[in-house]
Amino acid sequence: MAQYDFLIHCFVAGILASLACGLGALPLLFPQFDVQRHMGLGYGLAGGLMFSASVYNLLLPGLTLDEHVPGLRQVVLVLFGLLVGASFLSGMDRFLTRDRLENSLLGRLGNRRELLIFLAMSFHSIPEGVAVGVGYASAQYLPAAEGLGDYIALAIGIHNIPEGLAVAIPLRAGGASIFKCFVAAFLTSLPQPIAAVPAALLVWLFEPLMIPLLGVAAGAMIFLVVRELIPDALETRSPTQTAWAFIAGFSFMILIQAAL
């Protein structure tokens, strides 16, 4: 059993990273952070956070992840994943009609926008969980990789905080409670520990899937930003104000990446 202790560490690290995502909702407790009063700016800020995460945490790593895979093949795999992720969220957008939401259990989980946000961010968490699992498994076989899993989990946990904020802002703007925002942010990151354990056990299977998975997650998030958040922001704010809010969110996420 001792040889599989790393799986326990792997799962716990994934859970802690998920909790960090939930912490992203806590800034909304401060009265100065009144998202409902500045709803349009909140959507723009969340859009910038998500788009930045898509570029710097998903697309760029996908294009440079495996030095053994030819550059053109990596590009094709990432773009294929991007199209799959965007197509899936587009399909869900068409599926989640008012009638279906009112006449099914889905309606209890939230409105159409909240469900799309949940799906997009959950997709985003899967390759991160795979990365944690692969990191812990690598440390078992490569002495040079000792501590790699801990480092990956810590890095993901830190940047999960602003991503949790990106999930919470649109929900809060729609009238959700702080507790619901926390739970939703936590749940969108729950695929991390769930994906981490099988990835650690089956590195040979999951590692090649990382590149298209990163593309899928990026496609879903970018589609969400362009289809939902930016149009919603423009309903109550001018294009200039929306653009500045978007840039503020984008820049904040870049600073987090630089700090890591």
DSSP state letters, 133-190: HHHHHHHHH-GGGTTHHHHHHHHHHHHHHHHHHHHHHHHHHTT--HHHHHHHHHHHTT
Confidence of residue 208 (pLDDT cuts 50, 70, 90): confident
Query: What is the C-alpha to C-alpha distance for residues 95 and 112, in angstroms, rounded to an integer?
Result: 10
pLDDT value of residue 163: 83
- Direct distance between the N- and C-terminal alpha carbons of the chain, in angstroms, rounded to an integer: 34
Both tokens assigned to 179: 């507790």
DSSP 104: S
pLDDT value of residue 101: 61
pLDDT value of residue 244: 96
Both tokens assigned to 151: 């480092």
pLDDT value of residue 1: 44
CB-count burial class (<10 Å; 0-12, 13-18, 19+) for 147: exposed
Contact 78, 214 (CB under 8 A): yes
Tell me the pTM: 0.76
Both tokens assigned to 220: 């879903």
Count of Cβ atoms closer than 10 Å to residue 63 Cβ? 16
pLDDT value of residue 221: 87
Range name among 22-26, 129-133, 215-219 with the lowest pLDDT average: 129-133
Average confidence score pLDDT of the chain: 81
